[in-house]
Amino acid sequence: MKSLLKFITCGSVDDGKSTLIGHILYDSKLLYADQKEALELESKVGSRGGKIDYSLLLDGLMAEREQGITIDVAYRYFTTDHRSFIVADTPGHEEYTRNMAVGASFADLAIILVDAKQGVLVQTRRHARICALMGIQHFIFAVNKMDLVDYSESRFQEIQTDIQGLQQELQLADIAIIPVSATEGDNITVHSPHMPWYKGNTLLGHLETVDIQAFEEEGFYLPVQRVSRPDHTFRGFQGQVESGTLRVNDTVCVLPSGETAVVKSLIRGFDSVEEIHTGEAVTIQLDREVDVSRGCVIVNGTELQVSAKLETTLLWMDDTTLQEGREYLIMAGTKLVSGVVSKIRYAVDVNTGDHVERDGLSKNEIARCVLTLQEPIVVDTFTKHKTLGEFILIDRVSHMTAACGVIQDTLDKGEELYTFIGDSVRGRGDIFEEFYYDVEGLTVDKVRPECATYRVGDTIPLTGDSYQYPSTFDILILRDKVYISVRDGVITAIAPLREYTYQGVPLLNGRGFGIEVQSAEEYAQFIADIEASKNLNETFAKWLTFTSYRHIAFKK
């Protein structure tokens, strides 16, 4: 079975990317006859008059032909005796950098073209940096147009030194540097008679033999795309195995809830199977009712993060300027949440790699940013579990994909998740959550505000879109075993629940629901019920009311 190599070509304008790929296809006799005819015909009217213009094979859009440039990624498919290839030919103009990034996110290997006359340019560095950011491990630097520098070995060596410097700076794992001429065909598919000093592989030779075995990620994980519930007897979780193997009867953990269950059955295609592996599209059935929906991740044998605050590196791709504090939709894995770019730490100078302080980011800038999400989601660092370390930002109005990036770290293993911080205890109060009715989706959405924290002496907001609290009340956060006292809108105590005695003021639970307790006796009964409870839903139904202080607002 032949393996598949996905690669991209990138580099500055007029470095000859499209010509290079056109030449490989042409030399390898991988063109169908009618395309070849069309090419020869179009060359006559094309930009390079007379001679075959190989780039016309790839520049398929009318605007591209008119302007003689590449605007968007073109995908090409070819097979040699050794390998199948998908190549994404990407634009060189800075203006179309985001389209280059699209190609880079798809590839295992990048060919970066360098013009032998011009050497390593800013755009060369930008592209190498973006490829590295997107996780490409393998690089070929093709030093092109060697015919225009008389196939000079010393010129090649100069450029080679610059490229090696770039390799060190970006910590590129695997690189090859090959002197070529795309128009003349030197070292493309056959060794060039003009450069006897070059002893390495031809470009195609390297593509056919380079080892692209990806490193194996720890454990099994599957982001849930969809829950399939055709009837009451079947409930299956659909998704693609991102890494690892899972077998029937294995115990899995479902994140973010952390509930565990045993695998009852596995379906791949039309077959029930005993085990599933990396890359496969599958359906998983579990042995018990657990809370699983799109965006959850099924895990076995590894740790992932549940986080609402992410340290990231992103590529800003939108025409608008990114400002700190603006809200976007964030997609990571199969989860879509609201979030804010809460901090731009610095932008990266694409040429030197220096860190530059910025208030806002403009198109094609790479920057280190902190994202704060409206609720914690399942993620991990890009280096540990790649799929859960990738994200995009979507503009809430234009719906454009405004940025893409990778997660470097999670920042809220500590206090950030907690709303109420006391001297010895802290509580995850969700009393400021809003409940909205979505008329279009016919659903009720719960929206968690920016994680603010409150301490004794702080004033809290008593009114929201969907709540109105009295000015004096107590909050019982049962899961963290903490109570909070509010008097005239100000927090007067954050302390362990066991120290609490009934005060004769309204009682709320951590979500802002009213607790139907009117006396110290009823309070004792309530606590006893909670502790003995086998079914919290039933116990809550007995003691709690949603509508005491809350209502459901229409979505704005």
The H or E element containing residue 139 is strand 138-144
Residue (77 or 554) nearer to other proteins, CB: 77
Amino acid making up residue 277: H
Residue (228 or 251) nearer to other proteins, CB: 228
SS3 of 470-526: CCCEEEEECCCCEEEEEECCEEEEEEEHHHCCCCCCCEEECCCCEECCCCHHHHHHH
Residue (291 or 499) nearer to other proteins, CB: 291
Q: Residue 197 Cβ, how far from other proteins at the closest point, in Å?
A: 37
Residue (63 or 520) nearer to other proteins, CB: 63
The whole-angstrom separation of Cα 240 and Cα 168 is 35
Q: Residue 240 Cβ, how far from other proteins at the closest point, in Å?
A: 5
Q: Residue 182 Cβ, how far from other proteins at the closest point, in Å?
A: 19
Q: Residue 89 Cβ, how far from other proteins at the closest point, in Å?
A: 9
SS3 of 306-351: EEEEEEEEEEECCCCCEECCCEEEEEECCEEEEEEEEEEEEEECCC
Residue (35 or 189) nearer to other proteins, CB: 35
* Sites of contact with other proteins (CB under 8 A): 1-4, 32-35, 38, 42, 58-63, 65, 71-77, 79, 84, 86, 98-99, 101-102, 105-106, 134, 225-226, 228, 230, 234, 238-240, 245, 267, 269-270, 275, 277-281, 283, 294, 317, 329, 331-332, 334, 387, 390-392, 394, 399-401, 404
Backbone φ, ψ for residue 144 (5° rounding): -95, 165
Cβ 421 vs Cβ 452: under 8 Å:
no
> Which pair of structure tokens corresponds to residue 137?
């491990």
Q: Residue 245 Cβ, how far from other proteins at the closest point, in Å?
A: 8
Got the DSSP string for 171-189? T-SEEEEEE-BTTTTBTTT
Residue (86 or 176) nearer to other proteins, CB: 86
Q: Residue 219 Cβ, how far from other proteins at the closest point, in Å?
A: 17
- Helix, coil or strand: residue 65: helix
Q: Residue 106 Cβ, how far from other proteins at the closest point, in Å?
A: 8
Q: Residue 25 Cβ, how far from other proteins at the closest point, in Å?
A: 12
Residue (50 or 230) nearer to other proteins, CB: 230
The whole-angstrom separation of Cα 388 and Cα 123 is 29
Backbone φ, ψ for residue 167 (5° rounding): -60, -45
Q: Residue 315 Cβ, how far from other proteins at the closest point, in Å?
A: 9
Residue (35 or 533) nearer to other proteins, CB: 35
Q: Residue 252 Cβ, how far from other proteins at the closest point, in Å?
A: 19
Residue (86 or 552) nearer to other proteins, CB: 86
Amino acid making up residue 31: L
Q: Which of 306, 289, 301 is nearest to 252 (CA)?
A: 301
384-389 LR contacts (CB < 8 Å, sep 24+): 384/217, 384/218, 385/217, 385/218, 385/221, 385/242, 385/243, 385/302, 385/304, 386/135, 386/217, 386/242, 387/221, 387/223, 387/242, 387/333, 388/221, 388/223, 388/242, 388/297, 388/304, 388/332, 388/333
Q: Residue 104 Cβ, how far from other proteins at the closest point, in Å?
A: 9
Cβ 276 vs Cβ 193: under 8 Å:
no
Cβ 360 vs Cβ 278: under 8 Å:
no
Backbone φ, ψ for residue 341 (5° rounding): -80, 95
Cβ 272 vs Cβ 265: under 8 Å:
yes
